[in-house]
Structure 1
Amino acid sequence: MDRDTVTTLLLDLLARTALTLPRLRELSPAELNSHPGGHPNSPAWLLWHTGREIDMQLAHLSGGAEVWEEFRERVGLGEIGDTLGYGHSHTEAASVQVEDFTVLIEYIGATLGAAHQYISGVSDWGEIIDTYDGEPITRHVRMTSILIDAIEHLAQVAYIAGMPSVLS
């Protein structure tokens, strides 16, 4: 696939990801930090992790700084906030307690803005940047994976937020 086609497809996927943010019902602090069904990942964790997974991977791809630097204090998670979240123990995941829904949405929005800038400037989507199980991973594949992961986590929050009776 040529560069312009890949860029167009990724910008479309990015736009679809961004469209989910204003459609999420605002959650109260109690709802945000609830653990439906006793699951360790609360809506706050899912939102925070969405931003972190975009941010950390994008910084690695671009060689730039993480957007997190601008949000660390506002989100107020301390050291656990600097992690990715993948592989968190139940205790670590439960420690992600955020009182402000809006700051999480703003963080994700800022990471998506950084992703837009990155996607618009990539010249070689076919460049192999990593391997997974011995198979090459291209920039195109990695960026697609980042955005699909974000969509999946945002969809989980939307699903939970649509069932207020499970939030307690």
Structure 2
Amino acid sequence: MHSKELLLEAFGRLPGLVRHTLEGLNEADLQRRPAGNGNSIAWLIWHTARVEDAQVASAAGMEQVWKAGGFQSRFDLPLGDSDTGYGHSSRQVDAVRAPAELLLEYYQAVHRQTAGVLEGTDDPDLDRVIDRHWDPPVTLGVRLVSILGDCLQHLGQAAYVKGLHAGTAGAGGA
């Protein structure tokens, strides 16, 4: 297996995790915050998509799906144009409201762009330095692994929050 195939397989699992987490949830379920101040499922899915979108687009020199696909206006959030959720206050987490269908549509569009970038990536490309602000500088391969790890963590958190909702359809184990 080549690196590209491995990355496509790994990133290819994320849309199913998003879809499964969103299944059966209503608007109240999406907005409910554990203990009243944890991150909501809506925020976690939105943030996952935003982080993958922003970082893959930057690494590939492409426009973000958020803007190019019109999702920024469709979500109509009271946040900055380039906001991805890093460092959000409790009020900002509450402000991220969207129906499950829109969250899924946006993530699927982000995934299509990520898969396209990965399809055009060969092993030598993974050694290309894309961020010199770190020591050592960050390569494309390291950034992709970082993005994948972040997405898996947040999707795991969203699935956990779904499981906390008593009576939620499909909220059982893995």
Q: Same fold (TM over 0.5)?
A: yes
Q: What's the TM-score once normalised by structure 1's chain length?
A: 0.87
**How far did residue 128 of structure 1 move?**
1.7
Q: Deviations over 1:121-144 (max 9, x none)?
A: 124111122246512221011011
AA matched with 1:27 = L
Contact 1:37–1:166 (Cα < 8 Å) also in 2: no
Written as runs of structure 1 = structure 2, the 5 A alignment for 1:108-127 is 108-123=107-122, 124-127=125-128
- Find the counterpart in structure 2 of residue 150 from structure 1: 151
- Find the counterpart in structure 1 of residue 47 from structure 2: 49
Going from structure 1 to structure 2, the CA distance change for 1:133 and 1:59 (only over 3 Å counts) comes to closer
> Percent of aligned positions with the same letter in both sequences?
34
CA distance in 2, matches of 1:131, 1:13: 26
AA matched with 1:140 = G
AA matched with 1:85 = G
- Find the counterpart in structure 2 of residue 129 from structure 1: 130
Going from structure 1 to structure 2, the CA distance change for 1:158 and 1:77 (only over 3 Å counts) comes to same
Alignment partner of 1:89 is 2:89: yes
CA distance in 1, matches of 2:45, 2:2: 30
CA distance in 2, matches of 1:162, 1:111: 25
Q: What's the TM-score once normalised by structure 2's chain length?
A: 0.84
Alignment partner of 1:164 is 2:145: no
- Of 20, 27, 46, the match for 1:23: 20
- Find the counterpart in structure 2 of residue 59 from structure 1: 57
AA matched with 1:145 = S
Q: Deviations over 1:48-92 (max 9, x none)?
A: 101100111111111111111221222221434640111112222
Consecutive unaligned residues in structure 1, runs of 5 or more: none
Consecutive unaligned residues in structure 2, runs of 5 or more: 169-174
AA matched with 1:97 = R
Please list every run of at least 4 consecutive aligned residues from structure 1 whose deviation after the TM superposition is greater than 6 angstroms.
Answer: none
AA matched with 2:120 = G
Q: Deviations over 1:75-128 (max 9, x none)?
A: 221434640111112222222222x11100111111111000001112411112
- Aligned CA RMSD, in angstroms, stands at 2.1
Greater shift after overlay, 149-158 or 14-23?
Answer: 14-23
CA distance in 2, matches of 1:81, 1:48: 14
Contact 2:126–2:140 (Cα < 8 Å) also in 1: yes
Equivalent residue pairs, number: 163
SS of residue matched to 1:129: strand
